[in-house]
Chains A and B, each alone.
Chain A
């Protein structure tokens, strides 16, 4: 069906309320900003119509709301989901209804669905470059702390492989129930074990509580200051930094996008934010990636004159486009974005980029092409001769 003169329904499925509202709101804001910008520009001969639903952070709400979007609006494309659990929940609906999910968040990898476009970083674009930066500087004996679900488990597991390959060992590994802010015992264990660094895959309030408690430890014992034993994060973003404040200063994060990125593309993008959403206080990778997703989708709709998922994917994959974080491309073989990881240090003025090799890394969601360990598989099976 030709799109000329039509309103094209676009599903928007982020949790702007609930336990990870701070991050969900970023995705929502980036999506809405891009839709408003595209509609106002009149650059396409169709108008995008946002079909917004809020699953409130409850995994069980996602599939039903996605189905509702498809049934009531006929949308073929949904921008949304933050956690991997929520993404997994909507996949059966995507398959049944031939709908595409544009997923704008970093995640732990090991998936490449034909009806999902992954705009966030996967492990060879987040935790591995982060450790590549950190291991030579701080040592390889890291402490792993995360929220007790797949993101924390899997990111820590990959980090363990990388640390051991570098001759290090895991100083400790702890998981905290989602939303739990009781981190005293973990801080005490870190104080005793004195790891080279802490890899933090906690999310939301748990992460903020941990960063504050660790800053306290740094004040009591200067050997735990960020410059010596930093906390490294793959999912610590601008609005969260604003929330934690000075306690996070000096800690390190990796992301393809930081608000302070000094590129022409980012200046342009921040200009659009200031013009169309002047109330915006902070812009994060979640925001920028959702924004980039909508633009890529609109380009695909415009180029093909249809919202059929396979046709649109065929038009957008394998082509370099401009995004707030620089040139971006969706890899044809796995639907993931080619991204440039940047390492930044938290300061009172946001994230200051300390390492940007400006090297775009092709997505390798199954870590098929990177060796994360040097030792051969130590089988538990006895070799019998």
Chain B
């Protein structure tokens, strides 16, 4: 059985509300204050300083556009909550393409911000973990070639079967405290540079 949830806590965090001055922004500001969150409202552009210090962002979907964001499209480096008034499919598609982690429907009253924050934080954490896992898998995939090449080199050098060559590669990686991929790249690099080691 999984442990029940901890009480999410946002005390001391900083939020950015990308929305023109409006009761929606005021309502969000009031709810954020109850959670101990400071916030800045900006429109139409996000200042570099505000972007750098924010922990999360609320962004307007009704009047928003790509150029407002100082990061690559869809790559918000913080939990992002879409503020949706018009439910027109085009606007929703834009919010999705921007990588919204959660949303709030306008008008905003006395509730909803806490829920959006909890969901956005969790889905941002998943998004970040998934991205770094993807990066790691991609890197390992690229290094597969090096493993094959290094194994082949060791086979030739030691006149041994593939299994034994691979086992040696693994042993050397462990001794050098490297990943097997990094060890393979090192072996291939050394051979390319003309070093011929007599490996034992």
Is B70 part of the binding interface, using a Cβ–Cβ cutoff of 8 Å? no
Interface stretch (choices A34-42, A242-250, A315-323, A370-378): A370-378
Query: Which residues of chain A come closer than 8 Å to B6, judged between CB atoms?
Result: 161, 372-373, 377
- One digit per residue, 1 when the CB lies within 8 angstroms of any chain B CB and 0 when it does not, for chain A 353-385 equals 000000000000111110111000111111111
* Residue B141, interface by CB 8 Å: no
A111 contacts the other chain (CB 8 A):
yes
Complex Cα distance, B3 from A334, in Å, reads 30
Candidates B4, B36, B111; contact of A160 at CB < 8 Å: B4
Cβ of A158 < 8 Å from any Cβ of B?
Answer: yes
A372 CA to B5 CA, complexed, in Å: 12
- In the assembly, what is the distance between CA of A366 and CA of B132, in Å? 32
User: A371 and B4: CB pair below 8 A?
Assistant: no
Most buried by A among B5, B6, B111, B126: B6
Inter-chain contact A114/B132, CB cutoff 8 Å: no
Q: How long is the Cα–Cα vector from A158 to B143 in the complex, in angstroms?
A: 48
Instruction: For the complex, give the distance between the alpha carbons of A369 and B9 in Å.
Output: 8
Verify if A264 is at the interface (C-beta below 8 Å from B): no
Segment touching A, from B27-35, B41-49, B72-80: B27-35
In contact, B34 and A368 (Cβ under 8 angstroms): yes
Cβ-based interface call for A182 (8 A): no
Contact (Cβ within 8 A) A368 B5: no
A110 contacts partner chain B, Cβ-Cβ < 8 Å: yes
Q: Within 8 Å of chain A (Cβ to Cβ): is B67?
A: no
Q: Does A4 contact B (CB under 8 A)?
A: no
B133 (CB) vs chain A CBs: closest residue: A384
Q: Give Cα A114 to B33, complex, Å.
A: 14
List the A side residues contacting B110 at CB < 8 Å. 112-115
B3 partner residues in chain A, CB cutoff 8 A: 378
Contacts of A193 in B (CB 8 A): none
The reply to whether B35 and A157 form a contact with Cβ atoms under 8 Å apart is: no
Q: A95-B109, A113-B110, A366-B35 are in contact. Are A333 and B30 (CB under 8 A)?
A: yes
For B30, the chain A residues whose CB sits under 8 A away are 333
B-side contacts of A383, CB under 8 Å = 129
Q: Which of B36, B111, B132 contacts A368 (CB 8 A)?
A: B36
Find chain A residues with CB under 8 A from B4 CB: 157, 160
B160 lies within 8 A of chain A by Cβ = no
Do the beta carbons of B35 and A382 come within 8 Å of each other? no
Q: Do residues B125 and A366 form an inter-chain contact, with CB atoms below 8 A? A: no
Task: Give every chain B residue within 8 A of A369 (Cβ-Cβ).
Answer: 11, 36
Whether the Cβ atoms of A384 and B7 lie closer than 8 Å is no
Give the shortest distance, in Å, between B70 (CB) and chain A (any CB). 26
Q: How far is the CA of A85 from the CA of B193 in the complex (A)?
A: 74
Q: Which residues of chain A are near B129, meaning CB under 8 Å? A: 379, 381-384
Complex CA gap A333/B33 in Å reads: 8
- Does B94 count as interface, using CB distance less than 8 angstroms? no
On chain A, the residues within 8 Å of B125 by CB distance are 379, 381
Please, how many angstroms separate the alpha-carbon atoms of A111 and B109 in the complex?
12
Residue among B2, B109, B114, B126 making CB contact with A366, cutoff 8 Å: B114
Q: Can you name the residue of chain B whose Cβ is closest to the Cβ of A336?
A: B34
Q: Is B38 an interface residue (CB 8 A)?
A: no
CA distance A248 to B109 in the complex (A): 43
On chain A, the residues within 8 Å of B31 by CB distance are: 112
B-chain residues with CB within 8 Å of residue A372 when the two chains form the complex: 6-7
A86 to B123 Cα, complex, angstroms: 31
Residue of A nearest to B5 (CB): A157
User: Are B34's CB and A114's CB within 8 A?
Assistant: no
Closest to B115 in A: A110
Please state if B109 and A367 are interface contacts (CB–CB under 8 Å). no
Shortest 4 CB-CB contacts between residues of A and residues of B:
A113-B110, A368-B36, A384-B133, A381-B129
Interface residues of A (CB under 8 A from B): 95, 110-115, 157-158, 160-161, 333-334, 365-369, 371-373, 377-385
Give me 24 A-to-B residue pairs in the complex whose CB atoms sit less than 8 angstroms apart, sorted by A's number: A112-B31, A112-B34, A157-B4, A157-B5, A157-B7, A161-B6, A161-B7, A334-B34, A366-B35, A366-B114, A367-B9, A368-B9, A368-B10, A368-B36, A369-B11, A371-B9, A373-B7, A377-B6, A379-B125, A379-B129, A381-B125, A383-B129, A384-B132, A385-B136
* Known A367-B7, A371-B9, A379-B125; 4 more pairs at CB < 8 Å: A114-B109, A368-B9, A373-B6, A384-B136
